[in-house]
Chains A and B, each alone.
Chain A
């Protein structure tokens, strides 16, 4: 029997980006808020200490800041005919753990999704006709519009201090920005990052070919900045230890560098670290949550009652908690009914590696960061005519050297031996003269891709692991082949002696790292028969439960997700403050 703790107004599960934003907003409303975080406290001075933050072995190879599979992992299979087996170590994606979550080790690329993304099925139907969408492609509209999201994108960008150049201000296209983006009300809070040689060469070449290059919107800061909460961040130093690392310079936006210095001082906020939530408790009607049960490091089970439960954990854990708690009807792939676990999607990570003449090209790729670089958007989403192509979707194309730590980033041309003197010479020649251009592309929902609870494998607490059933749909593989070929043309035009194209192809493997942009499973939407939460991220079934994270995406765009996740956090907080608290209950009546 769990020991019952004094009541709180709000319990938040997970203190990463979304948990911190919502906790801060609800504390401002005067509510008593407690956050339960399964990992440890982390801050810049201790955990991302400049004396040893630049340690590839510890942080990249051994994944020091990430969720440890011994605590929890997932099982995976490509289709329902296979037996799912555990990811014994994380490969394909890197869930975070601890305060700040995956927002500690993210790259910092901060997009807005395009207006068409939020009404994707309607958009494709209008442009190409309903028959252009394959029967098994379960893409859908989000139940809101880009215009609904704009104010919240703005709030997240100003919180994080995003450095970039607007491409569309109030409908007026702006030189040097992304001409395909939705209209912004105002400029980015900070000017774009300076650009190293590689992205500069990419942008010059792409412009000559007719593309419109622009700087990647970056939550690594181009200058010192004080955000609206009064928290000051420093200028990015291009240290090259960025993605998969914490930032020692206070230059990469994270909960630590933007919200926590304010939130942690609030007397109506409390954080309990190393406390893992087991489930959301429901009352006898099943329509109201009474709080959560969690376990601390002593092994004791504790019950935290609360009026409002907000799931802000990593997206896989949010879906898992919904399933473990019996909130919403689980998805059944064989019949296509139910919703929780449905529309699990990923990101098609395509890449072209260029090998240039070492006597002429020195890219110094160790000078960089997760979000430094230049991009083009002509190959993304529906920015090109898919009519004759036989697939839908696309990706944001960018040259973004994130660093060149040499255990992991020393590509050699195909055919090079993996060891010996021949390897050594080829590797040495390529190290400073290789340059990659990536295309981070859309992943569209498919009837056979879903999440549910594993029947065999359990975590350290005896709960079923999340089971991923996923493979790349034919549509996405065709799209990847197309966009990667186009990227290859650019890399060759840049002067590469050899451009090696790596379009993503099936079957999906759990082994090599691809992207941590796993999304979906508790889709948001206007129709409860195809969504788990309404457009304010409130559970249709249990209205005092909200969930905020990439788990509410109905499918994935050709963009990194964090900008949209941050905007959704502000939007959900605003809905709770402006509407829910005045009249607790469903914000949308189906």
Chain B
């Protein structure tokens, strides 16, 4: 230990032979820990490193063909989100808000495959306090659960599929799924499928429109959430007064684009 050494006379280190701001090790990653597969870095002595490409900005989800769902799965999910969030005098339906597109794009990414989660075995049944212990990723839950839903309908509704049912019949079945009472065959229970569908539908309805749902900020306008404005200093002391500016999203606002 050399307590009195001056800050600028550090012992030479193999890493100091390069004058680059930071060096990346050359070997490829053991496990990609970031989306871009970042590698170990050495940073020293020259201030704050800033790497313009180090983080991926979000990309605007565009309408278009399904990226994860089969056409049949897409129809089913659209029919379900249309009942979870029905069109009424408060808003358009979950389908028209883009919730099914949102779910499709999420299932195509790291969320769908549980890449970031702990998916090592052994998988064994746990207590409710221990959370989900299955090896089912969201993608697998949708693939197998939607098939089980379709089979269940044909079996119990005189050969009809879910999309053929009346709104009242759909709601009745969804209510049974919510309670876990609809008997599905296969590894995905009706309650598990429902709870994932409800969670993802609400995520799509309320998330930034950049992810494909909440089209035209429909949910934010409905409840009075101003989105990404990021500065409310002028309204902090306006107690109990309505905030009147319209919402803004990460991608801006539709009327901005039309002006251009």
| Chain A residues within CB distance 8 Å of chain B | 5-7, 9, 27-32, 39-41, 43, 45-47, 49-58, 61-62, 68-71, 73, 76-78, 82-83, 85-89, 91, 194-197, 200, 235, 237-241, 248-249, 260-261, 264-275, 295-300, 307-308, 361-364, 366-367, 404-407, 410, 418-421, 424-425, 427-428, 431-432, 456-458, 460, 507-511, 581-582, 584
Contact = CB atoms under 8 A, between A and B. Distances in A.
A496 to B, nearest CB: 15
Interface in B44-84: 44-52, 54-55, 57-58, 83-84
A297 B25 contact: yes
A264 B223 contact: no
A428 B207 contact: no
Given A7-B11, A267-B45, A507-B129, A30 B119 contact: no
Contacts of A56: 206-208
22 contacts: A30-B6, A49-B55, A58-B58, A61-B203, A71-B33, A76-B129, A85-B126, A240-B232, A265-B46, A266-B7, A267-B7, A267-B10, A268-B7, A274-B40, A296-B40, A297-B31, A297-B33, A298-B40, A308-B1, A428-B223, A431-B225, A432-B224
Interface in B229-260: 229-233, 235-237, 239-243, 250
Secondary structure call for the B interface: loop
B159 interface: no
B203 A299 contact: no
A298 B130 contact: no
Contact of A88 (B115, B118, B127): B118
A52 B57 contact: yes
Secondary structure call for the A interface: loop
B122 A260 contact: no
Contact of A43 (B44, B50, B126, B131): B50
A149 to B, nearest CB: 25
Nearest to A66: B116
Interface in B1-25: 1-8, 10-15, 25
Contacts of B25: 296-298
Contacts of A41: 41, 43, 49, 51, 54
Given A269-B45, A456-B122, 4 more contacts: A6-B13, A43-B50, A241-B228, A274-B39
Given A40-B34, A86-B118, A6 B45 contact: no
Interface in B89-140: 90-91, 111, 114-120, 122, 124, 126-133
**Which of A62, A195, A308: most chain B CB closer than 10 A?**
A62
Contacts, number: 306
Interface of B: 1-8, 10-15, 25-31, 33-34, 38-52, 54-55, 57-58, 83-86, 88, 90-91, 111, 114-120, 122, 124, 126-133, 171, 174, 178, 198, 201-203, 206-208, 210-211, 219-220, 222-233, 235-237, 239-243, 250
A235 B233 contact: yes
Given A70-B119, A275-B40, A407-B206, A238 B34 contact: no
B250 A88 contact: no
Nearest to A544: B1
A9 B14 CA distance: 16
Contacts of A7: 11
A297 B118 contact: no
B14 A6 contact: yes
A197 B239 contact: yes
B90 A424 contact: yes
Given A71-B33, A510-B129, A261 B40 contact: no
A511 B126 CA distance: 12
Given A43-B50, A56-B208, A89-B131, A70 B31 contact: yes
Contacts of B237: 194, 196
B3 A425 contact: no
A580 to B, nearest CB: 9
Nearest to A195: B236
B117 A238 contact: no
A78 B14 CA distance: 49
A138 B87 CA distance: 57
Contact of A421 (B30, B86, B124, B198): B86
Given A54-B227, A298-B40, A406 B206 contact: yes
A581 B1 contact: yes
A272 B25 CA distance: 11
A85 B133 contact: yes
**Which of B46, B111, B203, B225: most chain A CB closer than 10 A?**
B225
B253 to A, nearest CB: 14
Contacts of A70: 31, 115-119
Given A45-B50, A69-B116, A297-B25, A510 B203 contact: no
Given A43-B48, A55-B58, A297-B40, A31 B129 contact: no
